[in-house]
A and B are shown apart, each in its own frame.
Chain A
């Protein structure tokens, strides 16, 4: 079973990304479950969702405590909230940031943003999803770009399945979102890669 934690800020489409990825995973043969975490949500504040993928029915009815994949939709949310709690060893971390994977790894190693983890224990990817979203959508809503980044980093879901759900969800506006997803998939940079 894969357990994915999606984090970002209210307004960036964290919950939508979880749901759309689940929908895409379903068509790829996964038993998927998307659970948004709700609190006093407001634009700009921490927003998070759990996505689980398995080959059989998922019994757990709770958010993930031990993700093997972390998708960070916002460049600075991890400076203000500990989004790293309970990560499985070897987890894949995908950051939306203009920084390089090495810069992110250095920041995680020395804890300069308040949260310290050992970067060598994880697979770290970065992509500038905000720039991609601004270019393709005219707004810094990064969820669809980061869906593409997840496909690029993990291969858990086919890109075609993602374009299908984006078509279904956004209709005439799907083009920009699909373009953003493709650019983020192709623009991923891997630590040491």
Chain B
């Protein structure tokens, strides 16, 4: 296939098209909007034979997806931020009904303050809904993960919905070279849609789903759902190996980068880990023994793989582009769990960076590296790009918020600093 130059939202839409999705229901929200527009165009132009259901909210969007998936359709949606918040109760329905819906999420933080830019708060607060959660680090990965997500989700031993998350704007609106899979290769890889590996609503064979379950059997149901999610890690790895045999691009639950001799290892999710790779190359060139582990599958959590990757490090810095208010970032506790069984535990720090779209540059990561080397480990949660008495940016109580822009003037935005 010819190399294309697509943004992340186009990559998500094209991947869903290649997977021959049959039903789409989504409600537009910045920065996801393109995805819905592109899919609507594919359907209108006859490039994609799918039912596109117009809805009045995200709650309705996911409800329509639940309906479509319940009758056996390969089903796709896309959302983010407040949109996922509005879907909240239906997220649990979709997982509880074991419906293999795929949702692309162009990560955006949650209000208030109102902010349209990326962090991982919107998906991470939904970590316990029973969905698989995969995080893309590049536009190519958005495509590859959305496409393969259908095969993982529909595996008879999984039957769970999947979120493929990618940073809003920084991937959703950024264009990069991507190599799509051909329709012939896609059809050879992916089972035909609508073949129903899961129980479906069928008038000829009436059944009820989602009924009351009394306490005696409830734990058994929860146990099976949990076990399916845990077991999906191996199935995802298998699906990705098959995909790699076709494309030469092998995805894995985690990626390691200069881990072997590293004294300090970064761990995190999403596009910031690509920037961290660039920073690691720069730090290595100056003699620093530093590396990273990128977590692609956050749910299920690759505990064993991560423990193995982190085993030799003296210090581990978990980068969280989110905050679990009152405790730590939301990736950090799982990493600690992986470390706990090690005979020699490293100092494990949590650094909260890039919330609300604050740019994560190689300089941000270098600052995290310096703080990571200095820290005693007594204080575990640090905010290297925030202002505070003990934080990364020097703080002065007398500093006031910047005044509102004057009419006619405009300030240079964001990272061009």
A22 to B116, CA, bound (A): 25
B170 x A35 contact (CB < 8 A): yes
- Tell me which residues across on chain A come within 8 A of B274, comparing CB atoms: 59-61
Residue of B nearest to A35 (CB): B174
Chain B interface secondary structure, helix, strand, loop or mixed?
loop
B416 x A38 contact (CB < 8 A): no
| Interface assignment of A65: CB less than 8 Å from any CB of chain B | yes
- For the complex of A and B, the 3 pairs showing the least CB-CB separation, nearest first, are A61-B271, A59-B278, A35-B174
A23 x B170 contact (CB < 8 A): no
- Tell me which residues across on chain B come within 8 A of A147, comparing CB atoms: none
B408 x A62 contact (CB < 8 A): no
- Tell me which residues across on chain B come within 8 A of A80, comparing CB atoms: 408-410
A43 to B7, CA, bound (A): 23
A60 to B169, CA, bound (A): 14
Which of B87-115 touch A at CB < 8 Å? Answer: none
Interface 9-mer from B308-316, B335-343, B358-366, B395-403: B358-366
Q: From residue B35, how far is it (CB to closest CB) to chain A in Å?
A: 16
A5 to B415, CA, bound (A): 12
Q: From residue A42, how far is it (CB to closest CB) to chain B in Å?
A: 10
A86 x B408 contact (CB < 8 A): no
| Interface assignment of A126: CB less than 8 Å from any CB of chain B | no
B170 x A46 contact (CB < 8 A): no
15 A-B contact pairs sorted by A residue (CB < 8 Å): A5-B416, A22-B5, A34-B174, A36-B169, A37-B416, A46-B412, A48-B412, A60-B275, A60-B278, A61-B167, A61-B170, A61-B275, A62-B170, A83-B412, A85-B412
Partner of A37, one of B138, B176, B413, B417: B413
Contact with B along A157-178 (1 / 0, CB 8 A): 0000000000000000000000
A23 x B271 contact (CB < 8 A): no
B5 x A45 contact (CB < 8 A): no
A39 x B417 contact (CB < 8 A): no
- Tell me which residues across on chain B come within 8 A of A48, comparing CB atoms: 412-413, 416
B173 x A38 contact (CB < 8 A): yes
| Interface assignment of B31: CB less than 8 Å from any CB of chain A | yes
> With A26-B5, A38-B116 as given contacts, are A63 and B415 in contact (CB-CB < 8 Å)?
yes
**How many residues of chain B get a CB closer than 8 Å to chain A's CBs?**
39
- Tell me which residues across on chain A come within 8 A of B272, comparing CB atoms: 61
| Interface assignment of A19: CB less than 8 Å from any CB of chain B | yes
Partner of B412, one of A34, A62, A81: A81
B410 x A45 contact (CB < 8 A): yes
B→A interface (CB under 8 Å): 3, 5, 7, 31, 116-117, 137-138, 167, 169-171, 173-177, 271-272, 274-275, 277-278, 281, 359-363, 408-417
B31 x A38 contact (CB < 8 A): yes
A46 to B408, CA, bound (A): 11
Q: Which of B3, B31, B174, B362 has the most CB of A within 10 A?
A: B174
A82 to B412, CA, bound (A): 6
B413 x A22 contact (CB < 8 A): no
- Tell me which residues across on chain B come within 8 A of A31, comparing CB atoms: 177
A86 x B278 contact (CB < 8 A): no
- Tell me which residues across on chain B come within 8 A of A59, comparing CB atoms: 274-275, 277-278, 281
Which range contains the number of A residues in contact with the other chain?
20 to 34
A19 to B177, CA, bound (A): 11
Q: A59-B274, A60-B274 are in contact. List 13 more A-B contacts (CB 8 A).
A: A19-B5, A22-B175, A32-B5, A32-B176, A33-B176, A35-B174, A46-B411, A46-B412, A48-B412, A48-B416, A58-B176, A60-B275, A81-B410
| Interface assignment of A88: CB less than 8 Å from any CB of chain B | no
A48 to B416, CA, bound (A): 10
| Interface assignment of A116: CB less than 8 Å from any CB of chain B | no
| Interface assignment of A64: CB less than 8 Å from any CB of chain B | yes
Which of A11-41 touch B at CB < 8 Å? Answer: 19, 22-23, 26, 31-39
A81 x B414 contact (CB < 8 A): no
- Tell me which residues across on chain B come within 8 A of A36, comparing CB atoms: 169, 173-174
A51 to B414, CA, bound (A): 16
B173 x A65 contact (CB < 8 A): no
Q: From residue B106, how far is it (CB to closest CB) to chain A in Å?
A: 12
Q: From residue B226, how far is it (CB to closest CB) to chain A in Å?
A: 33
B177 x A63 contact (CB < 8 A): no
- Tell me which residues across on chain B come within 8 A of A82, comparing CB atoms: 412
Partner of B360, one of A35, A38, A62: A62
> With A19-B175, A80-B408 as given contacts, are A60 and B362 in contact (CB-CB < 8 Å)?
yes
A63 to B413, CA, bound (A): 10
A83 to B359, CA, bound (A): 17
Partner of B415, one of A26, A33, A65, A81: A65
> With A5-B416, A19-B175 as given contacts, are A62 and B275 in contact (CB-CB < 8 Å)?
yes
- Tell me which residues across on chain A come within 8 A of B413, comparing CB atoms: 37, 39, 46, 48
A19 to B415, CA, bound (A): 19
A34 x B175 contact (CB < 8 A): yes
A63 x B416 contact (CB < 8 A): yes
- Tell me which residues across on chain B come within 8 A of A61, comparing CB atoms: 137-138, 167, 170-171, 174, 271-272, 274-275, 360
Q: Which of B169, B177, B361 has the most CB of A within 10 A?
A: B177
Q: Which of A37, A62, A86 has the most CB of B within 10 A?
A: A62
A85 to B116, CA, bound (A): 24
A46 to B410, CA, bound (A): 7
- Tell me which residues across on chain B come within 8 A of A5, comparing CB atoms: 416
Q: From residue B236, how far is it (CB to closest CB) to chain A in Å?
A: 23
